[in-house]
Structure 1
């Protein structure tokens, strides 16, 4: 169990999960602002907003206890994020801003069942209801991504092939969704266009070939990890021969992938991409690829149903 009684403890919890506190603060301020008709509630300077329903119906000094309860089985991710949202709003609540507590009763990566209580929070009733939707939106989203990722990880168990994400993420929430992929047991691809290179078909077309495209990237950014997308065995052999050590096999047949991986094994790592499903995961893994790229674990993952009940 993790107990949080001030914003600094919530920030430490977030940092301990490997998340960027400053980046999360921006996400949360924007989300709270979206919910409250401004640019966020806290930290100071982000604007002001009012939950008109709660202010009208709940006394300012009222306090309550809320429980975050699982409504559908899955894998939980984002507990530090939800705790941070609660801490931001509770610490700014007046006059009941003192004496609040957030108790996290589970750990990211846990398999959870219907009825499990993930978080118990006590403090200003108005603040709890103001923070509820943003906390749940982020928690249910990241838990859904972790749950979808775990399904692929389970399907690939014992094959030696790992599931890897893509940049097909919700704008503004990539950090959280990629975190959820890691929690679910998957592997992250690049975070942005700047921290690694992926030479795709349009780059190949613009550069005049797969090898010239690879060599131009390597010459300009020799320190970066470079992956090259290929669609034929000829391209794969050519780019590996040029020194590429990470190759994306795009929309290839099982036979073609198997032939390429067998021929070039040990000289590069291989990732399969395009039209993959859970039903085909094991067959694709048997070709010997190191990774399977799955955009669906972020762009199409259903949320994990979690609710907050006042108790």
Structure 2
């Protein structure tokens, strides 16, 4: 099997990406699946699909990995997964960095940029937007199919694109955090809005979720946001959901209940109340006033 010659520089040396045999794959797990504690002498990049799962690392609090989580496990990190009531799918990419003389770089990936985090985190996690997850999944499937076909140069190209996309998606949150101070108000506001944009369609999006993602106290985060924007984070989330609801009311024939669910509202009556407070109209009245196929709303 041919390995792509992706090169990184670390500790004054060149290291080549080496894909482990049969380690570009996807697997489906059920609640009954027993996933024993194990380690990889390699980097393990996983896209969590279909349903979420829980990552368990000894001596750390269990980590919830929602659907569309992109998870990177560093080498030699003992871990296992547990799964909920429905199937969960992992699309995995497992690789190592090898020197010209056959030695392997097994340090945390965070150290590749020369930064010295004490101690380095055993994993990195980002919840992707639907568009990001779809692009990564499509590229993963393409690379997997070419790898099985042993198509040489094209396989290397597909693997290179997949690896760089994964690193870029993680770097948006992680390495940017190292360049711009996380205590900067502007940085926090930008990150809050980006997380809202990526996740507003999911009912679990909340101030607590944003605080966990950014490593900040929820009250502190809301105070900084309110001082800058004049509204709370909860209101900003509702505003984004209502903006999307207006677009869908104007451009689709979906039912009100369906639009409510797609915009992240768990109850249709709450959606209707929030919409009326914002616009002075119910969703159905808004649709009729815009002339957008009112007969479809029931």
Question: TM class by shorter-chain length?
Answer: under 0.3
Q: TM-score, normalised on structure 1?
A: 0.26
Q: TM-score, normalised on structure 2?
A: 0.27
Larger relative CO (CA 8 A, sep 6+): 1 or 2?
A: 1
